[in-house]
Amino acid sequence: MDMRRLGRTDITVSSLCLGTMTFGEQNTKAEGFAQMDRAFEGGINFFDTAELYAVPPKAATAGRTEEIIGDWFEARNNRDQVILATKVVGRSSGMDWFRDDGSLPKLDRRNIMEAVDKSLARLKTDYIDLYQIHWPDRNMPSFGASPMRFKTPDLLKDEIPIAETLGVMSELVTAGKIRAIGLSNESSWGAMKYLEAHRNQGLERVHSIQNTYNLVNRTFEVNLAELAMREDLGLLAYSSLGQGYITGKYLNGARPKGARSTLFDRQSRYEGPGSEEAYTAYIKLAKEFGLDPAQMAIAFAASRPFTTANIIGATSLQQLDNALAAGDLTITEELETRINELHIIHGNPCP
């Protein structure tokens, strides 16, 4: 397992990161423990979670994933051996269950302070290694809304300035509650505003950006990749399997028992025009090279020069073992050339 520096910090993380959003919904506490044990034994030292999880988001399960991780830390007594990342939710509508007063979340001081203290309690720890802003406090396309369809949004009347949000996060670093700050589902403009606030106002720096990146959505490469590399703002790639679609398990309308799309029917992002043709092409390519399609997709995301870590998720130990094996797979020059040829043909059908 490759080990990589997180941004400009002194934190070193494994190139594969364990995503945990299924714990407390698709996976039981015991299954979550088994996954964390297996990942840790397999060389992963980096776990990612959020106050939102488990998914899909709902009041009954919000924070449950963090509780399971906290119980695992307590049982295994190994908190100091894991780099722990979690997130505070951004501006939300309809999700009034996060804050004690029932208000809708936004990224101001009151909300962030309440969120971090609750996460620390659930995680049974006194510090978080990487605290991330789950999504921005402004109107912008995200979670499947294409940047290519972006329209200048109306400013929110009480939009929280980026510098104000970063100021609160900086307080948490000073207090020792968090070690580093990260972004998620952010744009190049937003990321640069955070870096500008750091430079101009002496606030803490952001060190990572957790965005979607996979074979059918390489939009990160358009301009965020240059930003990530020039500013040491490493990508924590999520959904490298396109929520499972790149494995082929949903081809021809299949709906395997227990699969996310079967259970929740929330994956329209990966069912748009041209998507099935792209999946079929990449799966055929993997088989031509004697590779497992999931492992090829995971290894490709992890091998990009702008990627710090690729977040892998599983609902079974078999899936997790398959993902872990991708850590030993090399994307050869020949394979990369063929992948890029398919990208020219199929583009980004699932932005």
Q: Which residues are catalytic?
A: 53
CA distance 320 to 4: 21
- Amino acid identity of 128? I
What token pair was written down for 106? 């936004």
CA distance 259 to 175: 41
> Could you tell me which residues are beta bridge partners of residue 181?
131, 206
What token pair was written down for 293? 């399609």
Count of Cβ atoms closer than 10 Å to residue 118 Cβ: 18
Phi, psi (deg, nearest 5) at residue 307: -90, 125
Q: What is the largest CA-CA distance in the chain?
A: 57
Residues in the chain: 351
Alpha carbon distance, N-terminus to C-terminus of the chain: 29
What token pair was written down for 113? 């302070």
CA angle 25, 57, 112 (to 5 degrees): 120
Cis upstream peptide for 54 (omega within 30°): yes
- Amino acid identity of 171? E
CA distance 257 to 254: 10
> Could you tell me which residues are beta bridge partners of residue 209?
183, 235
**Of residues 68, 108, 110, 59, the one with CA closest to residue 86:** 68
What is the pairing mode between strands 16-19 and 46-48?
A: parallel
Phi, psi (deg, nearest 5) at residue 250: -105, 10
**Of residues 4, 69, 44, 56, the one with CA closest to residue 208:** 4
